[in-house]
Structure 1
Amino acid sequence: MFLELNRRVRLLGLNTTAGLRSAKEKSTVRSVRVFVPEPGIAEVAAHVRHGERSRAVALRLEVRRNRWVCTALELG
């Protein structure tokens, strides 16, 4: 999960510089939905816009040792 996110960030970095990306446009979270199938578990879906592009983000959070831990992450 982290390795895939890290790979995508590196690929994005190869296409444009961080300075140019931040100067042109900012990412915005357009909507967030949270489903709680049982106590201690949250499944989250978000719509993120970056310029003309839209992305879906889905993640599952679980309470482990009294802390929220991301156990699944998908970027679309």
Structure 2
Amino acid sequence: MSPLFALFTGAPGLPELLIIAVIVLVLFGKRLPSVMRSLGTSITEFKKGINDVSEEPTKSEESAHSESRSDA
């Protein structure tokens, strides 16, 4: 079995992960901070959207309760 083939069998170990990290740094070195910044912004916006969706039913329930109280 060749050493190159051993690189692609099983779960990647520490040497393989280090090789991948070096390749990523070489390819995206200058753009990496902006990519991470935009990734963080998108995660924050996603969480805000999830919270807004989960809060909408409670707001509509409150307005339904207040309307039923004002009708009585």
Q: Which has the larger share of strand?
A: 1
Q: Which has the larger share of helix?
A: 2
The structure with higher relative contact order (CA 8 Å, sep 6+) is 1
TM over 0.5: no
The structure with the larger Rg is: 2
Give the TM-score of the pair, scaled to structure 2: 0.29
Give the TM-score of the pair, scaled to structure 1: 0.28
